[in-house]
Chains A and B, each alone.
Chain A
Amino acid sequence: MATRNAAEAAQGLRLVAPPLTYAVVMLAIPLLTILAYSFFKDGYLTVIREFTLENYRAVWADPIFHKIMTRSLLVAALVTLVTVLLAFPVAYFLSFVVPPSHKALWIFLITIPFWTSYLIRVFLWKVILGYNGVVNSGLKSIGLIDQPLSFLLYNTSSIVMTLAHAYAPFAILPIYVALEKIDRSLLEAGRDLGESRAMTFWRVTLPLAMPGVLAAVLIVFIPTIGDYVTPTLIGGGKIPMIANMIQSQMLDQDNRPMGSALAVTAMLIVAVLSVLFLLLNRRFLRVRQ
Chain B
Amino acid sequence: MTFSADRKPMIECRQVHKHYGDYHALRGIDLTIRAGEFFSLLGPSGCGKTTLLRTIAGFEEISSGVVLVDGKDMSNVPANVRPTNMVFQSYAIFPHLTVAQNVGFGLRRDPRSSAEKARAVEEALEMVGLKGYGKRAAHALSGGQRQRVALARALILKPKVLLLDEPLSALDRKMREQMQVELIKLQRQVGITFVLVTHDQEEALVMSDRIAVMFEGEIAQLAHPEALYARPASRRVADFIGLMNFLPVSITGESDAAVTADVPGFGRVDIPMSNVSRANPGDSGPSAGFRPEAMTLLGVNAPPAERETGGVIDEVVYYGDMTYYDVRLDGSDRPVRISMRNVFGRDIADVGTRTRVSWAPGSLVLFR
* Closest Cβ–Cβ distance, residue B60 to chain A (whole Å): 11
In angstroms, how far is the closest chain B Cβ from the Cβ of A250? Answer: 46
Task: Please tell me if A35 contacts chain B, counting CB pairs below 8 Å.
Answer: no
The answer to whether residues A194 and B95 also contact, given A185-B88, A288-B139 and a CB cut-off of 8 A, is no
- Flag if A192 contacts B86 (CB, 8 Å): yes
Select the residue from B89, B92, B96 with max chain A CB neighbours within 10 A: B96
Size class of B's contact patch? 20 to 34
In the bound assembly, the distance between CA atoms of A87 and B105 in angstroms comes to 29
Task: Say which residue of B78, B92, B108 sits within 8 Å of A185 (CB atoms).
Answer: B92
**Given A208-B95, A287-B95, A289-B95: A194 in contact with B90 (beta carbons within 8 A):** no
Residues of B within 8 A of A191 (CB): 58-59, 78-80
B153 touches A193 (CB 8 A): yes
Per-residue A-contact encoding for B135-156, CB less than 8 Å = 1, 0 else: 0010100000000000001100
- Shortest Cβ distance from residue B83 to the other chain A in the assembled complex, whole angstroms: 10
Known A-B contacts A192-B85, A194-B157, A196-B80; A288 and B92 likewise in contact (beta carbons under 8 Å): no
Is there an interface contact between B95 and A193, defined as CB atoms closer than 8 Å? no
Question: How far is A224 from B89 in the complex, measured between Cα atoms in Å?
Answer: 45
B-side contacts of A199, CB under 8 Å:
108
CB distance from A173 to the nearest CB of B (A): 22
Scan B15-53; emit 1 where CB is below 8 A from any A CB, else 0: 000000000000000000000000000000000000000
CB distance from B139 to the nearest CB of A (A): 5
Q: Is A85 an interface residue (CB 8 A)?
A: no
Q: Which of B89, B92, B139 has the most CB of A within 10 A?
A: B92
Q: How far is the CB of B103 from chain A (nearest CB, A)?
A: 10
List A contacts of B90 (CB < 8 A).
183, 185
Partner of B106, one of A186, A193, A288: A193
Output the least CB separation between A214 and chain B (Å): 13
Residue on B nearest A207 in the bound complex, by CB: B96
Distance in Å from the Cβ of A285 to the closest Cβ of chain B? 11
Q: Point out the residues of chain B lying under 8 angstroms from A186, CB to CB.
A: 92, 94-95
Query: What 0/1 pattern do residues 181 to 206 of A give for CB contact below 8 A with B?
Result: 00101101111111110010001100
Assess whether A188 is in contact with B88, with CB atoms less than 8 Å apart: yes
Contact B88 A194 (CB under 8 A): no
- Tell me whether A194 and B94 are in contact (CB under 8 A): no
Which residue from chain A places its CB closest to the CB of B110 in the assembled complex? Answer: A194
Partner of B59, one of A188, A194, A203: A188
In Å, the complex CA distance between A194 and B108 comes to 9
Q: How far is the CA of A94 from the CA of B78 in the complex (A)?
A: 25
The answer on a CB contact under 8 Å between B139 and A192 is no
Q: Verify A208–B92 contact, CB threshold 8 A.
A: no
Instruction: State A191–B80 Cα separation when bound (angstroms).
Output: 5
Smallest CB-CB separation from A211: which chain B residue? Answer: B96
Q: Would you give the shortest CB distance from B282 to chain A, in whole angstroms?
A: 36
Give 1 or 0 for each of B66-96: 1 = CB within 8 Å of chain A CB: 0000000000001111001110111010111
CB B150 to nearest CB in A, in angstroms, measures: 8
Whether, in the assembled complex, B109 has its beta carbon less than 8 Å from a beta carbon of chain A, the answer is yes
Question: In the bound complex, do residue B109 and residue A204 qualify as a contact, i.e. CB atoms below 8 Å apart?
Answer: no
A7 to B266: give the CA distance in the assembly, Å: 68
Report Cα–Cα, A289/B137, bound state, in Å: 12
| Contact partners of B78 in chain A: CB under 8 A | 191
CB-CB under 8 A from B139, the residues of chain A are: 287-289
A188 and B95 within 8 A (CB): no
- B206 CB → nearest A CB, Å: 26
Nearest B residue to A182 via CB reads B95
Known: A188-B79, A288-B139. Contact between A195 and B94, CB under 8 A? no
Partner of A208, one of B81, B96, B105, B157: B96
Q: Bound complex: CA of A195 vs CA of B78, how far in Å? A: 10
**A192, B80: Cβ atoms under 8 Å?**
yes
The CA of A186 and the CA of B96, in the complex, are separated in Å by 11
For residue B57, CB closer than 8 A to chain A, the reply is yes
Chain B residues whose CB sits within 8 angstroms of the CB of A195 once the complex forms = 80, 106, 108
Residue from A194, A199, A288 whose CB has the most chain B CB atoms within 10 Å: A194
Q: Which of A183, A196, A287 contacts B92 (CB 8 A)?
A: A183
**Neighbour of B88 across the interface among A189, A196, A204, A284, CB < 8 A:** A189
Q: Which residue of A lies closest to B90 (CB)?
A: A185
Option from B89, B137, B157 in Cβ contact (under 8 Å) with A193: B157
Residues on B with beta carbons closer than 8 Å to the beta carbon of A286? 137
Collect the chain A residues with CB atoms within 8 Å of residue B157's CB: 193-194
State whether A192 touches B79 (Cβ < 8 A): yes
**Is the CB–CB distance between A194 and B81 below 8 Å?**
yes
Q: What is the bound-complex CA distance between A195 and B57, given in angstroms?
A: 14
Besides A189-B86, A193-B85, A203-B105, 11 more A-B contacts (Cβ < 8 Å) are A186-B92, A188-B79, A189-B94, A193-B106, A193-B153, A194-B81, A194-B106, A284-B96, A287-B96, A288-B95, A288-B139
Binding site for B on A (CB under 8 A): 183, 185-186, 188-196, 199, 203-204, 207-208, 284, 286-289
For this complex, 15 residue pairs linking A to B, each with C-beta atoms less than 8 Å apart, are A185-B92, A186-B94, A188-B86, A189-B88, A191-B78, A191-B79, A193-B85, A193-B154, A195-B108, A204-B94, A208-B96, A286-B137, A287-B96, A287-B139, A289-B139
Seen from chain B, the residues whose Cβ lies within 8 Å of a Cβ on chain A are: 57-59, 78-81, 84-86, 88-90, 92, 94-96, 105-106, 108-109, 137, 139, 153-154, 157
The 7 A-B pairs with the shortest beta carbon distances in the complex, nearest first, are A193-B106, A189-B92, A185-B92, A287-B96, A288-B139, A191-B79, A207-B96
